Structure 1
């Protein structure tokens, strides 16, 4: 299975914000950090804000931040949200629809995929110093941020 670009960008936005909990961040800043389209990120951020994953503050001193701690953001539930309804092989258009036994095993496999991801929080995937350094966190002043990501 391959995640959509929307899901990929959603995870990237949340990882970036989880690495920068000490301040508000801008969409432009995140787009620059990942070298991706700011227009695409605006759609992702709007969806994540509307879904309660992040807070968006307007105005000159505004920005975005996580709406709750990284440990409370479940990766499996996030991806269920961003991926929406998944049809792995396009059964609806197939001549064998209703006569083939493949949809049930595929549904079980998809459920198993999400069940594994639901065992992990955003904080769980933040635990690497290298990841934090690549996101601009990891200097001497950022020891507290790194420590917080490792605490249960």
Structure 2
């Protein structure tokens, strides 16, 4: 299973904001901390705002911050909302009729089960669980 870059960056934004607590952060600040594109983060921040995971304040002195406590933000639920699909193999895509054995394939249900197990494992974790090493993360990400 491979997550998209969008999911990866989404989790990175949430980790950063969780470290900053109630302090406003900017997209540029987060992009610099992770050394990634601010352009990509803009779309992700917009989506996180729509999903009510973050609050955004526009204008001079504005920024973004978590809208919920890290303990309330479920990692598996975020991934389900951010990922467009989980087409681990081509035959999962209903728009494609690619494999000649698709109608009798016994592999597909096992891959579907594994995919669901992946999500179920992530659903056992919250944002708080993935920032337990807060001091180490802060040393790398937060410029004071």
Matches for 1:83-94 after TM superposition, within 5 Å: 83-91=83-91, 92=96, 93-94=98-99
Among candidates 107, 111, 119, match of residue 114 of structure 1: 119
- Give the CA deviation at 1:22: 3.3
Residue 122 of structure 1 aligns to a residue whose secondary structure is coil
Structure 1 residue ranges (4+ consecutive) displaced by more than 3 angstroms after TM superposition: none
- Give the CA deviation at 1:25: 0.5
Asked if the contact 2:49/2:56 (under 8 Å) is kept, the reply is yes
Aligned residues: 138
Asked if the contact 2:31/2:41 (under 8 Å) is kept, the reply is yes
**Structure 1 segments unaligned to the other structure (5+ residues):** 140-152
Instruction: Please report the RMSD computed on the Cα atoms of aligned residues, expressed in angstroms.
Output: 1.4
1:133 corresponding residue in structure 2: 139
- Give the CA deviation at 1:100: 0.9
* Aligned mates of 1:119, 1:101 — CA distance in 2: 29
1:124 corresponding residue in structure 2: 129
- Give the CA deviation at 1:77: 0.6
TM-score, reference length from structure 1: 0.86
Asked if the contact 2:22/2:66 (under 8 Å) is kept, the reply is no
* Aligned mates of 2:66, 2:84 — CA distance in 1: 21
Matches for 1:1-152 after TM superposition, within 5 Å: 1-91=1-91, 92=96, 93-128=98-133, 129-136=135-142
Asked if the contact 2:22/2:65 (under 8 Å) is kept, the reply is no
- Give the CA deviation at 1:101: 1.4
* Aligned mates of 1:53, 1:98 — CA distance in 2: 40
**Structure 2 segments unaligned to the other structure (5+ residues):** none
